[in-house]
Structures are given as structure tokens and as C-alpha cells.
Amino acid sequence: MTPEKRTAIYLNMAHMGFFASLGFAAANALHWPDFVKGLTVGLLLLPLVIAPLRRMRDEYIDSLWRAGTAWAFVAVIASFLFAPFLEGFYDGLAAAPSHQNIPVEAAGYAAILAFFIGFHVEWLRARL
């Protein structure tokens, strides 16, 4: 397989993962049926399996990978630092008793979404 073809496959997987993670966010936010959530998770699995493969990457893809992982790391740290504050702020505005409004999986999902956002921001910056 040529390096150009490997790069094309990798970028297509990154695009698919980005749109699948956006679809998962929309499905959760808009309370779509469970099969739609499952479909988006299924579409997200292939890019998450392809992404760590070293033989698929070159220096360009490695730079995109590093940008994505840096954004994901910042998202995890921000989730752990600010999620309790945002939850308390929401409870205060809603005058609701304190209970967990932010799901436990939010930090992991934020990391996956931030990875794809950082990947694509670096990709767009390299193209312009």
C-alpha cells in the first residue's frame, strides 16, 4: 500500500470518527432512539481501532495525532476541574436539588470529541 493511500485511509477514518462523535452528541442531547446512539457508537469504533495503528502513520499524521492528543488531554483535565462547578451552577440556576446532571462518561466522551477537533484543527491549519 502506498503512503498516499495509507494517509487517505487514515484521514477518512478521522473524518468518520469526527462525524460519528458529533452524531452521538446530537443523539444524546436530542434524546434520539437508542438504535441511533448505537449506530453512532458503531461508526465510531472503526476509527478508534484504526487511529492507534503505527503502520498507518507518517510524520504528517503523527503531527495531527499529537495535536489531537494534546486537545484530548486538555479536555480531560478541564472536565475534571470544571464539571463539578458547572453541575452546581446548573443546580443553582434551576433551583433543583443537588443531583448528578452530568453523566460519568462525559469526561471520556469529551476527550474523544476533543481529539477529533484538535486533529481537524491541525489538519485545516496545515492545509491553509
Across the chain, which has 128 residues, the per-10-residue mean pLDDT values are: 84 93 91 93 88 75 92 93 82 72 81 95 92
In one letter, which amino acid is 46?
L
With contact defined as beta carbons under 8 Å apart, do 71 and 117 qualify?
yes
Residue 120, pLDDT score: 96
The pLDDT of residue 54 is 66
The pLDDT, as a whole number, for residue 28 is 87
pLDDT given at position 6: 83
CA distances from 29 to 22, 26, 33, 37, 96 (A): 10, 5, 11, 11, 20
Q: What is the b/e burial string over 25-35, where b = at least 16 CB atoms within 10 angstroms of the residue's CB?
A: eebbeeeeeee
Query: What's residue 124's pLDDT?
Result: 95
* 57, 10 Cβ separation under 8 angstroms: yes
